[in-house]
């Protein structure tokens, strides 16, 4: 999961699907500022390649990132040399400071295996908030949204690189098991690789309970950046 091979084509394939990290970050920032107008510092947990973080840096005075996957973290550090991008597991990290807002986007929290892991992650992120700070988490799909056997396919072409992505989803316990096959072609030739993503299908109530247990009032906003909605909480 999140191998060097995937990191190389990650943004290319999602741009082909219409993903606009800058627009998403601005929308999330507006939600944050509507709840905490003076928010000046932000931590992006599971920041990936830093695509959201770059735009957050234009909105907030101080930003930092956290990423567990080394290939993605290296790309974020290259993109944002003046921003601290920490190595860390969202379930148990300690940066020794607090922020006005903490975000965890693009369903990254869904990669955790058990509901207890999700609760630990929410609690850890909440501990990095100032009182009145805002926590934003974008979930994976809820159980009722799962479609057995769902297939998706994409073709991307940028700067002499062509990428195809085909995915097939099945139910694995309380999770989506998504087999994703990539074919990448460029001047050096054609290569293939497969990623297996397992994303947990937690309920809206389980997410809200995790926020409340972490000392945050919370609400769920349907829609959001990728159609899966956003959980937004404020630390008491």
Q: Are 131 and 235 in contact (CB under 8 A)?
A: yes
Quick one: pLDDT at residue 20?
Answer: 98
Q: Which residues contact 119 (CB under 8 A, 6 or more apart)?
A: 209, 210, 213, 214
Quick one: pLDDT at residue 65?
Answer: 98
Please state, as a whole number, how many other Cβ atoms lie within 10 Å of the Cβ of residue 15: 14
Please state, as a whole number, how many other Cβ atoms lie within 10 Å of the Cβ of residue 123: 17
Low-confidence stretches of the chain (pLDDT < 50) are: none
Cα angle for residues 51, 54, 57 (degrees, 5° grid): 150
Nearest-angstrom CA–CA distance, 57 and 179 = 34
Nearest-angstrom CA–CA distance, 139 and 73 = 21
Q: Where are the beta strands (DSSP E) in the chain?
A: 41-45, 62-67, 84-87, 99-104, 129-137, 151-158, 161-172, 175-186, 189-200, 216-221, 230-235
Task: Give the N- to C-terminal CA distance of the chain in Å, as an integer.
Answer: 35
Nearest-angstrom CA–CA distance, 216 and 236 = 6
Instruction: Please provide residue 88's backbone torsions phi and psi, each rounded to the nearest 5 degrees.
Output: 180, 155
Buried b (16+ CB within 10 A) or exposed e, 205-227: ebbbbbbeebebebebeeebbbe
Quick one: pLDDT at residue 1?
Answer: 64
Quick one: pLDDT at residue 124?
Answer: 98
For 82-95, write each residue's pLDDT tens digit: 999 999 999 999 99
Q: Are 127 and 226 in contact (CB under 8 A)?
A: no
Beta pairing class for 99-104 and 161-172: unpaired
Quick one: pLDDT at residue 137?
Answer: 99
Domains of the chain listed by start with CATH number: 17-142+201-235 (3.40.50.150), 144-200 (2.20.130.10)
Quick one: pLDDT at residue 2?
Answer: 84
Tokens of 188: 């050096």
For 146-183, write each residue's pLDDT tens digit: 999 999 999 999 999 999 999 999 999 999 999 999 99
């Amino acid at each position: 999961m999140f191998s060097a091979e995937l990191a190389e084509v990650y943004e290319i394939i999602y741009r082909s699907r219409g993903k606009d990290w800058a627009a998403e970050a601005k929308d999330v920032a507006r939600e944050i500022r509507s709840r905490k107008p003076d928010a000046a510092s932000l931590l992006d947990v599971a920041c990936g390649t830093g695509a959201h973080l770059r735009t957050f840096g234009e909105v907030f005075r101080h930003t930092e990132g956290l990423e567990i996957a080394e290939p993605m973290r290296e790309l974020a550090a290259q993109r944002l040399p003046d921003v601290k991008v920490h190595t860390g597991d969202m379930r148990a990290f300690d940066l020794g400071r607090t922020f006005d807002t903490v975000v965890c986007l693009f369903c990254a929290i869904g990669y955790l295996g058990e509901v207890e892991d999700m609760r630990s992650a929410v609690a850890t992120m909440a501990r990095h908030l100032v009182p009145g700070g805002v926590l934003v988490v974008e979930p994976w799909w809820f159980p009722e949204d799962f479609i057995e056997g769902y297939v998706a396919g994409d073709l991307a072409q940028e700067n002499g690189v062509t990428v195809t992505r085909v995915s097939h989803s099945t139910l694995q316990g309380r999770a989506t098991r998504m087999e994703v096959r990539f074919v990448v072609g460029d001047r050096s030739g054609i290569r293939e690789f497969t990623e297996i993503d397992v994303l947990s299908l937690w309920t809206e109530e389980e997410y809200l309970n995790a926020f409340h247990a972490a000392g945050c009032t919370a609400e769920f906003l349907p829609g959001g950046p990728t159609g899966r909605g956003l959980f937004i909480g404020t630390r008491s």
